[in-house]
Structure 1
């Protein structure tokens, strides 16, 4: 019988990998412990797959790293702790030669105290033997590509103290982009767990960068266990930092198959307030909108506005429910309706859309997230292919389960086939809790606030979109119509224009939910299997099939990194593309 560690190592080595000299080389050492293999399996590889990064895996347990392997890669990632202590002189020499030829290095093993003198000399770092412990980071005030999604000086905290390897001395050419906070609370815990620690309160390097020869190095002193849910996990504020580390360090040009920065404005509980002037304004500002309507509530002129915007490709109208407490197939908070009742409600909805000349989208947005299992067949009869949110059919909201959808097991940011029906894809890109709605608690609606807090609304709306983009998903601006209704038309336009201006630096691609969903499905059914680079020319090979035009992300530049999206097009049964 195989151990759990052996099974994880098998999963790692069986992960689909890429070929060619345009790939990354992910180093692991299966002689390390179970925890280290778990970091690779749950922390590093899912992120690389999600970002569409072409990579190959090299297990150093078999043989030392060869120089030719490094030179045939754009970047080397040391993917877990307790690896560099076992590096041979040949492995270190291969990394040194690679850096001299421009191959990047991202080292997630901060335990350099136990590394050889040759590696310490290459990096220009010396460490104390005793590590530090911290539960908070502060990102640099100085801009850098790796922290481009963060505000200057922004802080991030997590659940429990995590190892921070203590960099005692660093050569002057290192730039610290994130620091571990060692305040009074952190020191009390650290000194209890590691008695030898004797440091003054302050900030200590957590992530640092430097140029070495023609290559770039990113050194993490913070343990990569940060990506395990016991500490922080994915989609909690560090995914962009690891992805940014890799993109910055990798030899340019570099191409990968990430999601474009799609942005959508989703509005739930739509009944036609203000004749949908607020929706017209959003479309005029430039947002693509996804209003989800109560079909028993919305009337007359509001339907005309919705239809016009849909015809113009500026909005995509979906059925949210009959009304707030009358869902399509579920008794609010109780359980599913009988099959015959579900069919009757869907026939009513079909007639409503037909009579009002509205197109039924492929993306379903069920009110309260509650749906009946019998709804799935009714949805598919009407052309549905995608459902927002993770709630499983026949489960009331209060009994919902996390079924650990891909890529990370997060129910805020995910895309995966429905456990009940593999012909349906579920997806989401949102923050947790009250921050899911960018107006929640910030308007006079229902006495939530004594005034409409315009600046706070703009800030939260910007953060909401940025959050999705920083996690490598689409950006979603989400609210409910009743909260928009208490905002004046003038203020509403100002809010949307300010949010749009704030996200322009991320080059957003405004899109409808059906467009985003089709792209998600296409990403799930295809992959980048080979990348080769000759000087500045790139040749990429895909396998699989797509429903829509695909994009490759091309990274160029040295300190000023540019990201360009190259249209690959739609393909079937594999494709080759050059740029």
Structure 2
């Protein structure tokens, strides 16, 4: 998409096929999701001119080893464009192979030799400075990758600059540098762009804010992007109306309008009145999770505790079930949410037409239709997840369901993240490999009470999703909230407010 001087100019070389094909995951998926208009300029087919560069707001280099494809003149044109106010972001850490006009102008002394360590790789960086716009949302923290990536060796920088992150590989060399030159700005990563591949780390995993903020910071202003506005909510499953839904009122106090997914047979007459009051006041929305913990609506497991197998309900059974739900909604004076949150994530194919008929076509998770929890817990199988937007399942899914396009998956995730980040959560004690890692209270309120740790995990989820320019949905279960008294629940949410105050 070419939108004149408010778009990005992405430089590529299609003749380097392997690195070029990686750009779908490294660059295009992210720019499309972040709503950044861009034009692709292929150096294998055209010569770059200063006029072309000046027709855009930012020059983006995301292909590895692209410096080898740029002539000395083309490199000089890029620097000249920066001097006139065009931004430059280089995600390619192979800085050494860029021609002298770039390195000399930016004061970079580089070498191919490892001068500070015996290797030029890293699997960890540290945020060094969070006073800058690009890193303002970060703690002064270490971020570990799944696997090591190659790094460029910047021995010294002879101009005024800021180092926002360093390589924590024992070298102390910079990982992210910002500079100004003339009227323009530059953000330079010394890491291989492979860090944006899910094999190494990827998008949707906790670094996206640095990615998109680098582009925004360097961009010639005005700069426009069509990103998702920040939005945070919470979903609570297995709800029977504990403590007369007082926990909902406390959520409301902290600005949440929760999605409350009900065990409908467990709702008392008084509970139904409270549901009606909350619904009419716009303080909560409601869905049918199951009839009870042991009686599901959308799929029939082998038994309530054996979800290794199961079967579809018949059309007649489903007709009766949905008539019950219709009757309850009418009796209670509410309309069911358009979002489906199914108990155990089990949704039979026979149930789909009944859901579509009622406009319930948004999925809180990427459910695998007609497949029991034991075979594919709470999401599609990997080969289908990998094809979904924005990032193949990492960080969640915001896309149409691959098996039935009538259904839209609206499922941000703070648990489908890089392996290295999951290990951080295990080490922190907020999840265990065997637990329900999506429930932020599963390890912090169900069998023990640790308000600070629970708040930390909730804040982690909110920040990760918003940093990825997605919306955030915290997830828990009513029975876990019930372990907390009202003051503890209020204190936890107060702490979450404080931990996310930068947003």
- Asked if Structure 1 and Structure 2 have the same fold, meaning a TM-score greater than 0.5 normalized by the shorter chain, the answer is yes
Aligned residue in 1 for 2:51: 68
Out of 339, 346, 351, the residue aligned to residue 370 of structure 1 is: 346
Whether 2:257 is the aligned partner of 1:269: answer no
Q: Provide Cα deviations, 1:114-141, integer angstroms capped at 9, x if missing partner.
A: 2222221122112121361111111124
Aligned residue in 1 for 2:10: 26
Whether 2:175 is the aligned partner of 1:206: answer yes
Out of 392, 396, 409, the residue aligned to residue 409 of structure 1 is: 392
Using a 3 Å threshold, how does the CA distance of structure 1 residues 142 and 304 change in structure 2: closer, same or farther?
same
Aligned residue in 1 for 2:304: none
CA distance in 1, matches of 2:335, 2:280: 9
CA distance in 2, matches of 1:292, 1:483: 14
CA distance in 1, matches of 2:24, 2:466: 23
Alignment partner of 2:15: what SS? coil
CA distance in 1, matches of 2:77, 2:159: 24
Shift of 1:411: 5.5
Whether 2:490 is the aligned partner of 1:493: answer yes
Whether 2:475 is the aligned partner of 1:478: answer yes
Out of 125, 128, 139, the residue aligned to residue 137 of structure 1 is: 125
CA distance in 1, matches of 2:362, 2:26: 27
CA distance in 1, matches of 2:57, 2:81: 9
Alignment partner of 1:377: what SS? helix
Alignment partner of 1:219: what SS? strand
Unaligned segments of structure 1, at least 5 residues: 1-16, 183-200, 507-579
Whether 2:152 is the aligned partner of 1:155: answer no
Alignment partner of 2:406: what SS? coil
CA distance in 2, matches of 1:94, 1:391: 50
Q: Provide Cα deviations, 1:488-539, integer angstroms capped at 9, x if missing partner.
A: 1112112212322432432xxxxxxxxxxxxxxxxxxxxxxxxxxxxxxxxx
Whether 2:439 is the aligned partner of 1:437: answer yes
Report how many residues are paired: 465
CA distance in 2, matches of 1:39, 1:176: 27
Out of 103, 106, 115, the residue aligned to residue 98 of structure 2 is: 115
Shift of 1:154: 1.3
Alignment partner of 2:285: what SS? coil
Aligned residue in 2 for 1:461: 458
Q: Is the 8 A contact 1:99 1:214 kept in 2?
A: yes
Q: Is the 8 A contact 1:391 1:397 kept in 2?
A: no
CA distance in 1, matches of 2:194, 2:319: 48
Aligned 1:119-268 pairs, distance under 5 A: 119-130=102-113, 132-151=120-139, 153-182=140-169, 201-268=170-237
Aligned 1:1-16 pairs, distance under 5 A: none
Alignment partner of 2:453: what SS? helix
Q: Provide Cα deviations, 1:96-124, integer angstroms capped at 9, x if missing partner.
A: 22112211000122212222222211221
Q: Is the 8 A contact 2:439 2:477 kept in 1?
A: yes
Alignment partner of 2:502: what SS? helix
Q: Is the 8 A contact 1:81 1:111 kept in 2?
A: yes
Aligned residue in 1 for 2:419: none
Alignment partner of 1:296: what SS? helix
Shift of 1:364: 1.1
Unaligned segments of structure 2, at least 5 residues: 115-119, 302-306, 416-430
TM-score (norm 1): 0.78
Q: Is the 8 A contact 1:39 1:224 kept in 2?
A: no
Out of 10, 25, 30, the residue aligned to residue 42 of structure 1 is: 25
Q: Provide Cα deviations, 1:261-294, integer angstroms capped at 9, x if missing partner.
A: 0111211111111110011111122112111111
CA distance in 2, matches of 1:392, 1:490: 39
Alignment partner of 1:414: what SS? strand
Q: Is the 8 A contact 2:79 2:102 kept in 1?
A: no
Alignment partner of 1:468: what SS? helix
Out of 270, 279, 288, the residue aligned to residue 319 of structure 1 is: 288
Q: Is the 8 A contact 1:64 1:90 kept in 2?
A: no
Q: Is the 8 A contact 1:39 1:227 kept in 2?
A: no
Alignment partner of 2:155: what SS? strand
CA distance in 2, matches of 1:142, 1:79: 24
Shift of 1:328: 1.0
Whether 2:259 is the aligned partner of 1:290: answer yes
Runs of 4+ in 1 over 4 A off after TM superposition: none
Alignment partner of 1:287: what SS? coil
Shift of 1:45: 0.7
CA distance in 1, matches of 2:88, 2:8: 10
Whether 2:319 is the aligned partner of 1:346: answer no
Alignment partner of 2:178: what SS? strand
Q: Is the 8 A contact 2:106 2:159 kept in 1?
A: no
Using a 3 Å threshold, how does the CA distance of structure 1 residues 412 and 366 change in structure 2: closer, same or farther?
farther
Q: Is the 8 A contact 2:129 2:135 kept in 1?
A: no
Aligned residue in 2 for 1:196: none
Q: Is the 8 A contact 1:64 1:88 kept in 2?
A: no
Shift of 1:93: 2.5
Shift of 1:74: 0.7
